[in-house]
Amino acid sequence: MKKYLVFDVGGSFIKFALMDSSSIYKKGKVKTPADSLGSFLDAIEQVCRTFEGKIEGVAMSMPGLIDSSTGYAVHGGSLEYVRKLNMADKIQERLQLPVWIENDGKCAALGEVWKGQLKDVQNGIAFVLGTGIGGGIVLNGQLVKGHHFGAGEFSFIRTEGSDPLSIDDFLGHVGSTTRLVRSAALRIGKDPASFSGEDMFREIRRGNKVVKNIFQKYCTIVAGQLMSLQAILDPEVIIIGGGMSAEPMLIEELQRSLYDLQENDFFTKVNGYRTEIKGSELGNDANLYGALYQYLNSDSR
């Protein structure tokens, strides 16, 4: 069976995997270069060399506004050196292999469509919680990309409206899991640099009411935004992704918060349905699966 090298590019690390349509054979990661496109291409090429002669092509998930049909990147999100250039062509020139690229949030949704919780779902949302909030939208069985390739950039939803241009009003700020964990650490006198999400949930299980209240308030804020997405898109299900989605307490509390809000919500009462939330079964591999899925269904084969 043909094998492919699949990358999931993040702000801190580039994760990679040797894959085929049924399995992941090997995974690893390298630090994401912060200085230049040249350094980024060097890092990709170095990884590719370790699989020389074993792969048929390269699929990539990365941040930013990406035209996957051409490989053109309007921008690369946190990758400041990616601006108005064809990333697929740049990488293909280096590797001499077919290359396909898509936005990371859209890859998360496609991974769920192929191997996860959105399989056979006609209308669904992948909502990825992390340092910011990304995601993908599936309507009528099709991935929604948007006229400017920006559909699913949930970080940029304005939450309160008091100052729409303030970063404090962005969902990516108020819904950041990094910010949540940091807030919990500071409130109980812990060092934010060493306090993790696992530590936060451990404190909650120990009965720490301060941390529990911070967590519940966070879930209520996120649940309110999920209600807005329900009103706009009417999905069958919303899949919660990101590293923290592996914690059952997060999914349970988000669902409880959402049901509590909808219990007294006029829109919900009139329409007679409530929003279902599920945790991702693919976890941090969703982007890898989604990138390969799109590659296998693209003209890059």
Examine residue 272 and state whether it is found in any structural domain, yes or no.
Answer: yes
Q: At what angle do helices 209-233 and 248-263 cross, to 10 degrees?
A: 60
Same domain, 179 and 234: yes
pLDDT, mean over the chain = 94
Q: In this prediction, what percent of the chain has a pLDDT beyond 70? A: 99
Same domain, 98 and 139: no
Query: Residue 219 burial by CB count (10 A; 0-12/13-18/19+): exposed, middle or buried?
Result: buried
Mean pLDDT across 238-244: 94
Copy the structure tokens of residue 170: 């962005």
Q: Are 82 and 64 in contact (CB under 8 A)?
A: yes
Q: Are 140 and 114 in contact (CB under 8 A)?
A: no
Same domain, 14 and 136: no
Examine residue 301 and state whether it is found in any structural domain, yes or no.
Answer: no
Tell whether the model's pLDDT for residue 164 goes beyond 80.
no
Q: Note the pLDDT of residue 272.
A: 80
Strand partners, 15: 8, 29
Would you place residue 166 in the very low, low, confident or very high pLDDT band (cuts 50, 70, 90)?
confident
Beta strands in the chain (DSSP E): 4-9, 13-19, 24-31, 58-62, 65-67, 72-76, 79-86, 99-103, 124-129, 133-139, 142-144, 237-241, 277-279
Give me the residue label for tokens 């990358």.
Answer: 7
Same domain, 277 and 289: no
Examine residue 112 and state whether it is found in any structural domain, yes or no.
Answer: no
Tell whether the model's pLDDT for residue 77 goes beyond 60.
yes
Tell whether the model's pLDDT for residue 301 goes beyond 70.
no
- pTM for the model stands at 0.92
Span 129-150, pLDDT tens digits:
998 899 999 999 999 999 999 9
Span 179-206, pLDDT tens digits:
999 999 999 999 999 999 999 999 999 9
Same domain, 197 and 128: yes
Q: Note the pLDDT of residue 300.
A: 52
Examine residue 9 and state whether it is found in any structural domain, yes or no.
Answer: yes
Mean pLDDT across 152-162: 86
Same domain, 172 and 247: yes
Tell whether the model's pLDDT for residue 210 goes beyond 60.
yes
Q: Measuring CA to CA, how many Å separate 229 from each of 108, 186, 279?
A: 17, 31, 17
Same domain, 33 and 156: no
Examine residue 41 and state whether it is found in any structural domain, yes or no.
Answer: yes
Q: Note the pLDDT of residue 234.
A: 93
Same domain, 88 and 210: no
* d(C-alpha 170, C-alpha 6), whole Å: 31
| AA identity, residue 206 | R
Examine residue 226 and state whether it is found in any structural domain, yes or no.
Answer: yes
User: DSSP class of residue 284?
Assistant: G
Mean pLDDT across 111-124: 97
Examine residue 91 and state whether it is found in any structural domain, yes or no.
Answer: yes
Please count the structural domains in the chain: 2
196-210: b (≥16 Cβ within 10 Å) or e: ebebbbebbeeebee
Copy the structure tokens of residue 177: 């899991």
Tell whether the model's pLDDT for residue 249 goes beyond 80.
yes
Give me the residue label for tokens 């060493």.
Answer: 194
Mean pLDDT across 228-254: 94
Examine residue 22 and state whether it is found in any structural domain, yes or no.
Answer: yes
Pairing type for strands 133-139 and 142-144 reads: antiparallel
Q: CA 190, 194, 200, 201: dihedral to nearest 10 degrees?
A: -140
* CATH code, domain carrying 225: 3.30.420.40
Beta strands in 96-226 (DSSP E): 99-103, 124-129, 133-139, 142-144
Span 12-50, pLDDT tens digits:
899 999 999 999 999 999 999 999 999 999 999 999 999
Same domain, 197 and 122: yes
Tell whether the model's pLDDT for residue 117 goes beyond 80.
yes
Domain of 165, in residue numbers: 117-281
Give me the residue label for tokens 């988000």.
Answer: 254
Copy the structure tokens of residue 96: 């001499």
Same domain, 124 and 197: yes
Same domain, 177 and 238: yes
> Quick count: other Cβ atoms within 10 Å of Cβ 244?
21
Would you place residue 298 in the very low, low, confident or very high pLDDT band (cuts 50, 70, 90)?
confident
Same domain, 84 and 181: no
